[in-house]
Chain A
Amino acid sequence: MSRSDRLVPILLAIAGAMFAAAPFVIDTAPDESTMGLVQRIFYFHFPSAMSMLISALICGVASAMFLFRRDPRADRVAVSAAELTVVFGIMTLVTGPLWGRKAWGVYWAWDARITSTFVMWMVFNAYLLLRRFGGAGSEVLAAAVGLFGMVLVPFIRWSVDLWRTLHPSTSVLPNLPVSMGIPLYFCWAAFTVLLVALLLIRMRLERQRAWLDDAYLSVED
């Protein structure tokens, strides 16, 4: 058992405690003037979007490393991160429209940011589909998708922004009153801890699969 594996239960415990406390922390924030109670979705929506972005970034960097160096460890990081990108993406894509319904009156307003999230989510779904159905050697192909997907992020943002913009602008964050800032950063921290814990667990699974493959091979020898 490696050092990172020993970290997992601790991280999970921290994340569990933080998520248990999250409703109470969020409760301390005041109701937002126009959105009311629904605004509180934001405390989960924003951190899950950030977690998705971080996972995508990890997947992209690990994919590039696997593509050029063919280190199987990099591939294990990439596939774990890709799955988390999709999972956090689902969370973002579910909470986004709930917010949108109240803010703009429709669930899906083709707002720039949620649209680019959707596109990115599709890219990393393509990554997973390739690995699932591409047959032998598909991990190399998937690595190219991961790398291209990461490089694509700014272009998706650029093109979708040029196409449509409705979303609360990025400057919202620093201007946030402290009473709303504390719960937001608290939830963001909780999501990040969860992200790291899940990533480590998923990587351990991949590592054990690789170990099992090696064991099979050495039994044959």
Chain B
Amino acid sequence: MSAAASDSPSDFSRVRLQGISRHYGRRRALANVTLDCAAGVVTGLFGPNGAGKSTLLGVLSTFVRPSSGAISYGDRTAEQWGDALRSRIGVLGHDLFLYGDLTAFENLLFFARLYGLPNPGEVVARALDKARLTDRAHDRVGAFSRGLRQRLALERALIHSPQLVLLDEPFTGLDDASAALLIERLRQLATSGAIVVMATHDFDLADGVVDEAVCLSSGRLVPMPGAGPLRQRYRDALSRERA
């Protein structure tokens, strides 16, 4: 699988969703969503609770199978990619994907090894440094505050330098300094050619980083055109949708 991961990155320049629907029984989580996310662009995903943001991220991460519609990663579908596709996707979930009984170092080391990274020890040391957790590397994650865990979880999601980065509410629990660092980090990711999709409620923080914004309203995708502040564009989009 590592051979596939070292393919030229050019075949992963965009992720395309076409007519994606997902329903759970009678509840429609996603309705006919078509979305195109390009490399180097941070896509912001907005919308009220239960609008389908997490489901959309789940579909993008290959975990949730759409009821209908097609997704392509670069020029291939998930089936054509196989297991190797997952090594190119990094997910920061709403639950943080960390083991509370392990230390920060052990958590990262476990996932670095699971992703088959060379020199996992070095990779982890660098990741801890980026999360500014080096001095707490050997403390149990269960004892961390939400903000610290959030920082660690971000580095866990990015440990294998994924080309598609999916973030669900990444600002939760972060103080101002950490949030600024996260924004900086997302900018770097985009500049280095990653595809970033981020679901968030925090318009003010997102203003500084989001290149393209869309919102979901009961499973339907609504574009948020314009260049003004995101909060205003979001209100306009929703009122247009309701009209």
- In the complex they form, do A and B come into direct contact, defined as C-beta atoms under 8 angstroms apart? yes
What is the interface of chain A, defined by CB distance below 8 A to chain B? 70, 136, 213, 216-217, 220-221
Listed in ascending order, the chain B residues whose CB lies under 8 Å from chain A are: 23-26, 28, 31-32, 65, 218
Instruction: Select which of B24, B25, B31, B65 is within 8 A of A220 by beta carbon.
Output: B31
Query: Are the CB atoms of B28 and A217 closer together than 8 Å?
Result: yes
B2 to chain A, nearest CB (A): 28
The smallest C-beta distance from A123 to any residue of chain B, in angstroms, reads 25
A65 to chain B, nearest CB (A): 16
The verdict on A213 contacting B25 (CB below 8 Å), with A220-B31, A221-B31, A221-B32 known, is: yes
14 extra A-B contacts, CB within 8 A, seeds A70-B65, A217-B28: A136-B24, A136-B25, A213-B23, A213-B25, A213-B26, A216-B26, A217-B23, A217-B26, A220-B28, A220-B31, A220-B218, A221-B28, A221-B31, A221-B32
Give Cα A136–Cα B27 distance, bound, in whole angstroms.
Answer: 11
A-B pairs with beta carbons under 8 Å apart, 16 shown: A70-B65, A136-B24, A136-B25, A213-B23, A213-B25, A213-B26, A216-B26, A217-B23, A217-B26, A217-B28, A220-B28, A220-B31, A220-B218, A221-B28, A221-B31, A221-B32
- What residues on A are CB-neighbors of B31 within 8 Å? 220-221
Residues of B contacting A70 in the complex (Cβ-Cβ under 8 angstroms): 65
Contacts of A216 in B (CB 8 A): 26
In the complex, the chain A residue whose C-beta lies closest to that of B32 is A221
A132 to chain B, nearest CB (A): 14
Within the assembled complex, what's the spacing in Å between the Cα atoms of A136 and B28?
13
When chains A and B are docked, how far (Å) is the Cα of A70 from the Cα of B31?
Answer: 20
Residues of chain A within 8 A (CB-CB) of B28 are 217, 220-221
| In the complex, residue of chain A having the shortest beta-carbon distance to the beta carbon of B31 | A221
Shortest B58–chain A CB gap in Å is 12
A136 to B218, CA, bound (A): 19
A220–B218 Cα distance when bound, in Å, is 10
Cα distance, A216 to B28, chains bound together (Å): 9
Q: Which residue in chain B gives the minimum CB-CB distance to A213?
A: B26
Least Cβ distance of A196 to chain B in Å?
Answer: 29
* Residues in A whose Cβ lies below 8 Å from that of B218: 220
Residue of A nearest to B21 (CB): A217
Complex Cα distance, B67 from A217, in Å, reads 12
Bound form: Cα–Cα A213–B27 in Å:
9
Chain A nearest CB, measured from B76 CB (Å): 21
| Closest beta carbon of chain B to A131's beta carbon, Å | 12
How far is A113 from B86 in the complex, measured between Cα atoms in Å? 49
- 8 tightest A-B contacts by CB? A216-B26, A213-B26, A136-B24, A217-B28, A220-B28, A217-B23, A221-B31, A213-B25
List the B residue with the shortest CB-CB distance to A136.
B24
Q: How far is the CB of A67 from chain B (nearest CB, A)?
A: 13
The residue on B at minimum CB distance from A215 is B26
Distance, CA A180 to CA B78, complexed state (A): 61
CA distance A213 to B23 in the complex (A): 10
Q: In the complex, what residues of B have CB within 8 A of residue A213's CB?
A: 23, 25-26
- Shortest Cβ distance from A42 into chain B, in angstroms? 44
Measured in the bound complex, the distance between the Cα atoms of B28 and A213 in whole Å is 10
Q: Residue of A at shortest CB range from B65? A: A70
Q: With a CB–CB cut-off of 8 A, which chain A residues contact B25? A: 136, 213
User: Which residue among A70, A216, A217, A221 has the maximum number of chain B CB atoms within 10 Å of its CB?
Assistant: A217
Give the distance in Å from the alpha carbon of A20 to the alpha carbon of B65 in the complex: 50
Complex interface: chain B residues within 8 A of A136 (CB):
24-25
CA distance in complex: A220, B31 (Å): 10
A221 neighbours in B (Cβ, 8 Å) = 28, 31-32
Shortest CB–CB separation between residue A122 and chain B, in angstroms?
Answer: 28
A210: nearest residue on chain B (CB-CB)? B25
CA distance A101 to B185 in the complex (A): 78
In angstroms, Cα B218 to Cα A216, docked, is 14
